[in-house]
Structure 1
Amino acid sequence: MSGALKIVRERIVSVKSTQQITKAMKMVSAAKLKRAQDAITQMRPYADRLNKMLINILSNLEGGINSPLVAERDIQKVAIAVVTSSKGLAGAFNTNIIKAAVAKINTDYAEVRANGNLTIICVGKKSYDYFRKEYSDCNIIDDYVDLFSNLDYKNLAKVSQMLMDEFASGNYDRIDVSYSKFKNAALQFAQCVQYLPVENMEGTKAEDEAKGKNFKADYIFEPGKEELLNHLIPSILQTTFQKYVYDTHASEHGAR
């Protein structure tokens, strides 16, 4: 009887300790949330405007563009960058991001995985903890599990540049990113989206034409469309990846 009572007391102490840790993490996250929310709120209009500009330009080009970053290929080799936090105690935040990636794999890339051509790029420790156990048959890259310890532009640009280089060299035919889109402190959406190649804009053009919008714009390219877009596309992709990470960072503190 005394032994059972001792176990109960130990559990009570353990629960209280966990509550104290959770409360402390919540207070820290509340302070960090404001900074993270400000960062994504300030960045999102810029990133969205860049994407709209790219859509408009690509949709109005005659003859397309010769860029390896927009090249559509048969999907045989795939990489998914799964952007989670490195800490737990954030409800279903990390689980939802992982679930979005797993759903994408099961729906679109089951054959790619069966052929041994699926790579998981773990950004944040929680994604690595899951995929190294459950997806041991895949190539797991853990070079970026500590990315959230330093979210400056140079660090994020290294990751996006690596993704672009790997795609352009033909090591992957498709690269997706699974992350959490931040709406507000109470609402975040986990999703897995295509990162490379830059998506074909014909569907957007057709939809706008069907709505009666004049999608044709008279662009003057200086020095030329090829040179301009070969600089513009990588810059936009770097900004887009930075937005994914900032979204996830704000979502983490909102969830906690």
Structure 2
Amino acid sequence: MASLKEVRSRITSVSSTQQITKAMKMVAAAKLRRAQDNILRMRPYAQRLGGILTNLSTLTEGAVDNPYAVKREVNSVLVIVVTSDRGLAGAFNSNIIKAASALINDKYSSQLAAGRVSVMAIGRKGADAFSKRGIPLVGDYSTIFSNISFDSVRVAAERAMDGFLNGEFDQVEILYNEFKNVATQIVRTEQFLPVEEKPADQMHDSALVAEYTFEPSMEEIVKELIPKSLKIQLYKAVLESNASEHGARMTAMDKATENAGELLKQLKLTYNRTRQAAITKEILEIVGGAEALASE
């Protein structure tokens, strides 16, 4: 059985840890509210713009040159992995890293063997994980989450888009955590480039019925709208991941605080039992000594 000093030391240590996890939970909750507001405002705009992008790519197929929809033989691949800069968020980062590794190993195994798979890591945890595995990293975007803005994400999106246009990458995919609620994050894999075109009977927002009017021209609209929509798509993924991170950290720290509380109960019970045993032993020694003196 541990000594009273050891148990007291553990109680102090666990109490300090509980205070830290409780504070981290409160900080994550405050950040989550802001991040959740941001993504809830962005979603309708991004979804609508994404639907228009898909419809335009289908409607203008053959009529307008759309370099972002060109399908080539997939010899080189870029995987955009959106993680976080910090840990202590449960399985938030490990789920994305596992999903990205599975995608690379299964879907792009031949490209990986030929050394034609690259990773764009948005978030320090993803950069650390894939650099250790020897997969080439494209750019350094590990500090985007320190000050999230459209401009910082736009730079990363343009790097991927330029790489696709100049033939450096034939396929670009994004993996991120989609925010559902505080306790649930869904790992999403989306094709970033080339822009997917849907069959006419699957077009978004009943585009067959609603006819588009192009001003100033179809060529100008496609030239301006498609790059903007791609940047918004990546920006939305970053905002989703940011909200998911704070939700995951809030949940993890809440559970850690509860576990610390349970451990404190056990330690205090152990402390009381150990103290009671020590007192009982001292009483027995005193009684035994008194009896020995009385018998002399």
Task: Answer yes or no: same fold by TM over 0.5.
Answer: yes
Q: Is 1:160 matched with 2:157?
A: yes
How high is the sequence identity, in percent, across the aligned residues?
Answer: 46
Match of 2:261 in 1: none
State the SS of the aligned residue for 2:74: coil
Does the 8 Å contact 2:39/2:236 carry over to 1?
yes
Residue segments in structure 2 that go unaligned for 5+ positions in a row: 250-296
Does the 8 Å contact 2:54/2:196 carry over to 1?
no
Structure 2 vs 1, CA of residues 19 and 224 (structure 1 numbering), >3 Å: closer, same or farther? Answer: same
By how many angstroms is 1:110 displaced? 0.8
Deviations 1:55-102 (A, max 9, x none): 222222352531221111111111111111111111111111112211
Q: Which range is displaced more, 216-225 or 9-18? A: 9-18
By how many angstroms is 1:167 displaced? 1.0
Structure 2 vs 1, CA of residues 62 and 234 (structure 1 numbering), >3 Å: closer, same or farther? Answer: closer
* Matches of 1:125 and 1:12, distance apart in 2: 34
| Aligned length in residues | 248
Does the 8 Å contact 1:58/1:64 carry over to 2?
no
The one-letter amino acid paired with 1:176 is: E
Match of 2:138 in 1: 141
TM-score (norm 2): 0.76
The one-letter amino acid paired with 1:177 is: I
Does the 8 Å contact 2:80/2:119 carry over to 1?
yes
Counterparts of 1:101-140 in structure 2, within 5 Å, are 101-133=100-132, 135-136=133-134, 138-140=135-137
Counterparts of 1:165-204 in structure 2, within 5 Å, are 165-202=162-199
The one-letter amino acid paired with 1:181 is: E
Deviating 4+ runs (over 3 angstroms): 4-20, 206-209
By how many angstroms is 1:9 displaced? 6.9
By how many angstroms is 1:5 displaced? 8.7
Structure 2 vs 1, CA of residues 229 and 171 (structure 1 numbering), >3 Å: closer, same or farther? Answer: same
Q: Is 1:228 matched with 2:228?
A: no
Does the 8 Å contact 1:128/1:142 carry over to 2?
no
Does the 8 Å contact 1:83/1:245 carry over to 2?
yes
* Matches of 2:90 and 2:171, distance apart in 1: 31
By how many angstroms is 1:221 displaced? 2.1
Match of 1:206 in 2: 201
Residue segments in structure 1 that go unaligned for 5+ positions in a row: none
The one-letter amino acid paired with 1:225 is: M
By how many angstroms is 1:200 displaced? 2.1
TM-score (norm 1): 0.88
Match of 2:211 in 1: 218
Bigger radius of gyration = 2
Structure 2 vs 1, CA of residues 11 and 165 (structure 1 numbering), >3 Å: closer, same or farther? Answer: farther
Deviations 1:130-164 (A, max 9, x none): 1122x21x212351111100101211111111111
The one-letter amino acid paired with 1:237 is: L
By how many angstroms is 1:111 displaced? 0.8
State the SS of the aligned residue for 1:56: helix
* Matches of 1:79 and 1:219, distance apart in 2: 33
* Matches of 1:6 and 1:118, distance apart in 2: 56
